[in-house]
A and B are shown apart, each in its own frame.
Chain A
Amino acid sequence: MAHSYTPGLKVLQKTLFRKERILPLKGKVLVKKGDNLSPDTVVASTNLPGNVQMLKVNNILNIEPRDVVDCLIIKEGDSVKKGDMIAETAGIFGMFKSSVESPVDGTIESISESTGRVIVREAPIPVEVDAYVSGIVDEVIEKEGIILKSDAAFIQGIFGIAGEKRGELVLVSNSSSDELTSDQITQDMEGKILIGGSFLSLDAYKKAMSCNVAAIVVGGFNYYDLKAVLGYDLGVAITGTEKLPTALIVTEGYGSIPMSDATFDLLKNNHGNQASVNGATQIRAGVIRPEIVIPINSDSDSEDSLSKEPEGIQEGSTVRVIRSPNFGKIGTVSSLPSELNKMESETMVRVAEISIDGKNTLIPRANLEMVELQ
């Protein structure tokens, strides 16, 4: 049987979800293997080096950089409080002295003879990493963090903005083809993850942010509305660090596109359940897609289908068309002819014959995405 490699996004009702939770710098791991975790459990912590203040001591004292050392009252490594004297000139007969005080609490990090600057480092900034998803500690990575595992439903979006959020899933749109409108978003949705259908307008997104909604999962969003949200043109799809109250996860693409039934139904069936989402996207080497993780209680072991390689499309596979025309439509592969075919654009490509709504049509294999169903 003919066979073709086509990447697709995951829509899994039940899988073994594993996630690394790692510190940006080495630090302390606060949990041990087998511990139960809730999304808010702090699993590891460390201290980032504090901010630094650079004091141009030579300028303030009006002396040469090389003479700074002679005027210093402190040495490298000393702790100082705000207002403590750091350096003082001898003055003239003990009079007319000039001095420099520390502008902050901190430690003297370095004294430069070449530039005459003294660097005061403020107190370290604590950083904590939480579990993000409820589950159990599967592996401890010494001084760095953990790998957690959880039985969960798992959905990948195509594009998202803003980082990790969590909350209760709330079905707002009644069907996968309905637009999620601003009048459907209310104050009591604060902290919730809203499930929409085909489209979210800029107005609706703004309303959600004003209501402090945690996240919205929706089929489509307008590309040009991103500028109004982000404040800049999104040139390359690298996101996740945006400081937005509401994360956005788009499952299908830009424009108004009904959410795939598999995704919509899975979300709908989990209405009222707790979920964790991450809008971070990176469409470059080492791709990162946005994700929705819904931990589930399960007596049976879940299969680790996340790390399984996709089988590729075959006759009978369910696929989604990912480029115009027929963009967003779901169909079944009827055949995979091996010869090249000429498209309307006159492009010669390898195609798949797809049955969409009972009608067969030829579509470039590159414009198909596997819909992975469980």
Chain B
Amino acid sequence: MSKKIKSILATDCGSTTTKAILIEWKDDRYRLTFRGEAPTTVEAPFEDVTKGVLNAVMEVEELSGRTILNGDQIITPDNGEKGVDIYVSTSSAGGGLQMMVAGVVKSMSGESAERAALGAGSIVMDVLASNDGRLPHEKITRIRQLRPDMILLSGGTDGGTTTHVMELAEILAAANPRPRLGQNYKLPVIYAGNNKAQDSIQSTLGEISDLDIVDNIRPVLERENLEPSRDKIHDLFMEHVMAQAPGYKKLMSWTDAPIMPTPGAVGSLIEMIAKKEGISVVGVDIGGATTDIFSVFEEKFNRTVSANLGMSYSICNVLAESGLDNVLRWVPFDIDRSELTNRIGNKMIRPTTVPQSLEELVIEQAIAREALRLSFIQHKAFATSLKGVQSERTISDAFEQSSSGQSLVNMMDLDLLVGSGGVLSHAPRRQQSARMLIDAFMPEGITQLAVDSIFMMPQLGVLANIDKKELKDDASQAALEVFDNDCLIRLGTCVTPVGKVKPKSKMAQVSLTFKDGSTKEIEVLEGSLEMLEVPYEEVKVNIVPSRGVDVGAGKGEPLDSVIFGGVVGLIFDGRNRPITLSTDPSQRIESLLNWSNAVDEYPKGDLF
């Protein structure tokens, strides 16, 4: 079979590391052949993201023996010995998106605007509202001080009174805010309020800002419509914030397809898996600065970006948000608290370092559990209601805004949990990735676990999205084949009965029938964690939960299913939900060590 594309170079410029992969057409299929990585070079003295790209590609050259670069240029097309046919890239360099949102009533349009901004992946620096208790001049001073990347202004239902939202617009105009980055462009402002005020908004803010008007975020009191605002925020983020990342324009000139933001590329791939297999999926990408969570439940795709929860630049924010005690509860040895905070602080100021000692690795993975847990809480709060991002409520609900409707995320319905990002993909043992995913996401019932082996979902996502007609078919074939063969590492399946039982009593009886006809019985006890090594193959399972315990078919109802092993195997988690750790340090450490040993999580030695 002749292929138009014989070799593909793809990079992902993360906020910490730039990763390059080489995909080649070999033996009638596309395979990942080599990969390389280098620190992302947005820092001085380079201040040019392309240097990191070239360093990562040089590593691919070194390992593969293939010449790809001619000086600072990528050689295209592939002449059989040198160069590659296409080059694509994703990027998340450029730091976070910092927004300010404004709404008339703080708990209504203000909260809706905040939800839209947070859902789009921004840090919300402040929520301005007519009733926030601040005087106009205080609001103006605040706007000037904060210098956000973008402002989202909402307020009023369609056709209703315009006075209050206009007052907010006048405050914005009086503040005449400047963007955080660069002096040479106007601050982007998105108006998503009462449609009757659009003309007045245009005349008040049109001159001083880069104004975009989208559909009302709250067209009627009982309905939220976040999607138009979220989409606009994403567009403006690419146009304004990403474009400020040093070297980004040069990188754009090298690629054969538009550069996709990393989370966008990963999201499209997760959506593709859910669609292809007809399942519910949660995907997570934990990076240096941010953690992105993607979910598909009831065929609805949702994505959130926790802008300040990450493993390097934002690692201290994980500590600040979760609290030191929550991090320490996952560490099975005593450590001086000030020593621990200093180590975490040092990771923040030197973000590219890697854990050399086992102790450092355990601490890093403890922090990862908390970063993932907090990000997932945010995701569950945003992936809500019946119709994707839209939320229907009754009038009485509308006055109580603590959460907008029911979360779509139902852990008992979850079929597949996929992890990616350095700390999950590069964990020295796959058992560690499985444990981090289970402890942070706390799946219920039967859930398959997987990781992106070498963190290439972003690159495959951008490859699957290539639009050029002559390249489209080969590129998406390459993305799917590499995804199946090289990207997703199936860790195995986690079986978790959930329900109230006495400590250490039986939660479920599990009967397994393997491919070769052999059988095995497992008793899942409350508080236990067990692992059975089974490769990635079908295993028939019959689970009989104890009274009051659910494993997916209802309380006390038995369940027959087919599950899959993997590189870790089958994990039987009797730790109930939520996982609670003893407040007694010695008991907590004993439990942690037992669980670690049960899944062979860390090398045996002084610590384990």
Task: Give A residues with C-beta under 8 Å from B.
Answer: 5, 7, 24-25, 49, 51-54, 65, 109-110, 112, 114-115, 117, 119, 121, 144, 158-159, 222-224, 233-237, 253-255, 281, 283-289, 306-310, 322-325, 327, 338, 343-349, 363-364, 366-367, 369
Q: Are B45's CB and A310's CB within 8 A?
A: yes
The listed residue with most A CB atoms (<10 A of its CB), out of B137, B246, B345, is B345
Q: Name A324's contact: one of B55, B96, B200, B343 (CB within 8 Å).
A: B343
Q: Does B287 contact A (CB under 8 A)?
A: no
Query: Could you pull out 22 A-B pairs where Cβ atoms are within 8 angstroms?
Result: A7-B39, A54-B171, A109-B174, A110-B174, A112-B170, A222-B341, A223-B338, A223-B342, A233-B320, A234-B316, A235-B317, A235-B320, A284-B15, A284-B95, A285-B42, A286-B44, A309-B45, A323-B360, A343-B355, A344-B357, A346-B361, A364-B353
Q: Are A253's CB and B350's CB within 8 A?
A: yes
Nearest residue, chain B, Cβ from A343:
B356
CA distance A115 to B348 in the complex (A): 47
Return chain B residues, CB-CB under 8 Å to A281: 349
Nearest residue, chain B, Cβ from A368:
B353
Q: How far is the CB of B274 from chain A (nearest CB, A)?
A: 32
Given A49-B176, A114-B162, A323-B350, A285 and B345 contact (CB-CB distance below 8 Å): no
Q: Name B200's contact: one of A25, A54, A114, A254 (CB within 8 Å).
A: A114
Q: Are A223's CB and B344's CB within 8 A?
A: yes
Task: Give B residues with C-beta under 8 Å from A.
Answer: 15, 38-39, 42-47, 55, 62, 93-96, 136-137, 140-141, 162-163, 166-167, 170-171, 173-174, 176, 178, 183, 200, 244-246, 289, 308, 313-314, 316-317, 319-321, 337-339, 341-361, 426, 428-429, 603
Q: Are B170's CB and A348's CB within 8 A?
A: no
Q: How far is the CB of A319 from chain B (nearest CB, A)?
A: 13
Nearest residue, chain B, Cβ from A23:
B183
Q: How far is the CB of B11 from chain A (nearest CB, A)?
A: 16
Q: Are B358's CB and A54's CB within 8 A?
A: no
Given A346-B603, A348-B428, A287 and B43 contact (CB-CB distance below 8 Å): yes
Nearest residue, chain A, Cβ from B603:
A346
Q: Name B15's contact: one of A117, A224, A285 (CB within 8 Å).
A: A285
Q: Are B356's CB and A344's CB within 8 A?
A: yes
Nearest residue, chain A, Cβ from B320:
A233
Q: Are B45's CB and A158's CB within 8 A?
A: no
Q: Are B43's CB and A7's CB within 8 A?
A: yes
CA distance A370 to B317 in the complex (A): 28
Nearest residue, chain B, Cβ from A26:
B183
Q: Are B42's CB and A286's CB within 8 A?
A: yes
CA distance A309 to B45 in the complex (A): 6
Q: Are B170's CB and A117's CB within 8 A?
A: yes
Q: Are B174's CB and A367's CB within 8 A?
A: no
Given A158-B350, A323-B354, A233 and B167 contact (CB-CB distance below 8 Å): no
Q: Are B313's CB and A65's CB within 8 A?
A: no
CA distance A369 to B39 in the complex (A): 13
Q: Are A345's CB and B137's CB within 8 A?
A: no
CA distance A345 to B364 in the complex (A): 11
Nearest residue, chain B, Cβ from A234:
B316
CA distance A158 to B351 in the complex (A): 12
Q: Name A346's contact: one of B38, B47, B338, B429 (CB within 8 Å).
A: B429
Return chain A residues, CB-CB under 8 Å to B166: 112, 114-115
CA distance A124 to B348 in the complex (A): 40
Q: Are A224's CB and B313's CB within 8 A?
A: no
Q: Name B136's contact: one of A7, A54, A159 (CB within 8 Å).
A: A54
Q: Are B354's CB and A367's CB within 8 A?
A: yes
Q: How far is the CB of A54 from chain B (nearest CB, A)?
A: 4
Q: Are A254's CB and B170's CB within 8 A?
A: no
Q: Are B308's CB and A119's CB within 8 A?
A: no
Q: How far is the CB of B43 from chain A (nearest CB, A)?
A: 4
Q: Are B289's CB and A284's CB within 8 A?
A: yes
Given A109-B174, A112-B166, A283 and B314 contact (CB-CB distance below 8 Å): no
CA distance A158 to B350 in the complex (A): 8
